[in-house]
Chains A and B, each alone.
Chain A
């Protein structure tokens, strides 16, 4: 088992490296000199040269990458151009909020998704199945940012039950799990949960239908196992993949939260990304993307190992 974990880590390392190279190059993809974002427009050539040397932009690309990577390993992701604060601290603050939102959304999505999926899979091709599947398709096809707006329209603008934006009564602060802040997370979390709900529902449906059709289940029934017993069997067989999908959905939500966070002004990494893009705050952009991507890579690894622990047949080569 340990060997398998080591093998997976070895397998993932070049990917992680590739991700870091991509993030590094991102800044250089941007049109124009990265320097122009930092310097005032009327800087003299000498000042520009000085800044360039200070930031290391005059060195060849591979060396710049090396220096950047070295700094990253030491926790130095540079400073935000807009605020001047270290990128790492900005990102860590935001990651917490995003993580909370994504987790709650994933939980909601997973709960309802598995429910719909089980119903659909158990009662395959019945009316229940069609309804559950329809809900799942809806979940996957709806533009979630639009759904957010619709939710705000219904529950904030029209009914006035829930606040439209922000994470807390004091504006965009940090979210804390106390009664005051609870109202603020409801709309964004529900909105966010729709896509994972759709995907998990489809996956679970396919899994359940597949397992039920397998011969060993028929053999169990023939031996007289009660429906509850069969149900437990289905759960244990479906669990590894279902959990894996849930884990991956959590990662997707974290990485893709920018749209919902924009709609709800939720102070997370997505919101940060938004700000970084519009202020052309390249160090912040780069740092945030790097952290999110790395998190996703690690999450994939954890999910992979957990899945294999639960079901050793799944081992990847």
Chain B
């Protein structure tokens, strides 16, 4: 039996804010991408990628973020990681503002890491596996020998034997193995929060199952908190404690996983769930639940962003943008129908 040196310490003693404080708190996050139409343009087209997003991530939970392409979930991830600078908004980590004197960017980086989608470009083709994983720790000052040791330890923990994999190059390993290495890289700095951006989307189903189980095991082992971003609803349901649904740069609905999946309160969520092809021949998916083209984030519709495709739309919806309303059990939905005082015509019919 090999004795693997335990180079990863459990995360509990790093907890500063206590049980009640959210590990991550995002308030009013806004990011617009401008693109000018050449020298002769008078207006700049603005892509409202993220347009006012608030949410919390509690310690030890997995928050799933779902939505179609263009809804802003990947941009949100990058804003949290500070790879892109937000235009407006506040990000608090364990109660402290990121980038302030209490929590510098470097410290934040050590505590929050990201796992990317497996693509051929997720690993540097010129570096060996162990060098890729050891890069982060070395940047933060760990001497080479210790960093490589940690890399080997992590490889072992993600199920890849160091003696076989440490010296390999990316082109010599399969997709599932690459993704495990992505995960190992994400854990190399011993973070408390791990953002998984479409981490299993590119994998075959059987491999996907293995990787998801690995993620669950690691979460228990290291006491991690996850943000799990995906467009695959089944996977999100499997992984998440709470789920947040995004649409066109804003939060449509957020709440406990089962609550969202069994009793959705936002028409968009309903439509998303209904559009999943049914496995049950007795309950076939008959009609297309959503009509119309998905509008692009450059010119979002006025009022509620979903009203152009919503089957419950009323004049109110075109004029006023609904705020997130608590419908009970920590479940919030940004829909006039969820708010008994909104004045939506359908409410008086009930």
Contact = CB atoms under 8 A, between A and B. Distances in A.
User: Is there a contact between chains A and B in the complex with CB atoms less than 8 Å apart?
Assistant: yes
Nearest to B38: A7
Interface string A6-41: 110010000000000000000000000000000000
Interface residues of A, number: 5
Interface in B87-122: none
Contacts, number: 8
Closest 4 CB pairs of A and B: A10-B39, A7-B38, A7-B40, A7-B39
Contacts of B38: 7, 317
Interface of B is mostly: loop
Nearest to B39: A10
A54 interface: no
A10 B38 CA distance: 11
Contacts of B40: 3, 6-7, 10
Interface in B5-61: 38-40
A134 to B, nearest CB: 32
A317 B39 CA distance: 11
A160 B39 CA distance: 61
Nearest to A6: B40
Nearest to A11: B39
A7 B40 CA distance: 8
Interface size class on chain B is: under 10
A156 B40 CA distance: 59
B34 to A, nearest CB: 16
A3 B40 CA distance: 9
A6 B38 CA distance: 11
Contacts of B39: 7, 10
A296 to B, nearest CB: 24
A313 to B, nearest CB: 18
A10 B41 CA distance: 13
B335 to A, nearest CB: 41
A7 B39 CA distance: 8
A7 to B, nearest CB: 6
A30 B310 CA distance: 74
A135 to B, nearest CB: 36
Contacts of A6: 40
B42 to A, nearest CB: 14
A267 to B, nearest CB: 43
A317 B37 CA distance: 10
5 contacts: A3-B40, A6-B40, A7-B39, A7-B40, A10-B40
A308 to B, nearest CB: 15
A10 to B, nearest CB: 6
Nearest to A10: B39
A317 B38 CA distance: 8
A10 B39 CA distance: 9
A11 to B, nearest CB: 9
A112 B274 CA distance: 63
A217 to B, nearest CB: 27
Contacts of A317: 38
Contacts of A10: 39-40
A119 to B, nearest CB: 35
B148 to A, nearest CB: 44
A74 to B, nearest CB: 29
Contacts of A3: 40
B218 to A, nearest CB: 42
A246 to B, nearest CB: 29
A316 to B, nearest CB: 11
Contacts of A7: 38-40
Interface in A224-274: none
Nearest to A7: B38
A187 B40 CA distance: 50
B127 to A, nearest CB: 32
A238 to B, nearest CB: 29
Given A7-B38, A7-B39, A10-B40, 5 more contacts: A3-B40, A6-B40, A7-B40, A10-B39, A317-B38
A25 to B, nearest CB: 27
A36 B39 CA distance: 46
A82 to B, nearest CB: 44
A73 to B, nearest CB: 24
A14 B117 CA distance: 42
A10 B40 CA distance: 10
Interface in A265-294: none
A317 B35 CA distance: 12
B162 to A, nearest CB: 42
A136 B40 CA distance: 43
A286 B39 CA distance: 33
B37 to A, nearest CB: 10
A258 B40 CA distance: 41
Nearest to A317: B38
A3 B41 CA distance: 11
B36 to A, nearest CB: 11
A317 B40 CA distance: 13
A3 B38 CA distance: 11
A4 to B, nearest CB: 10
A315 to B, nearest CB: 11
Nearest to A3: B40
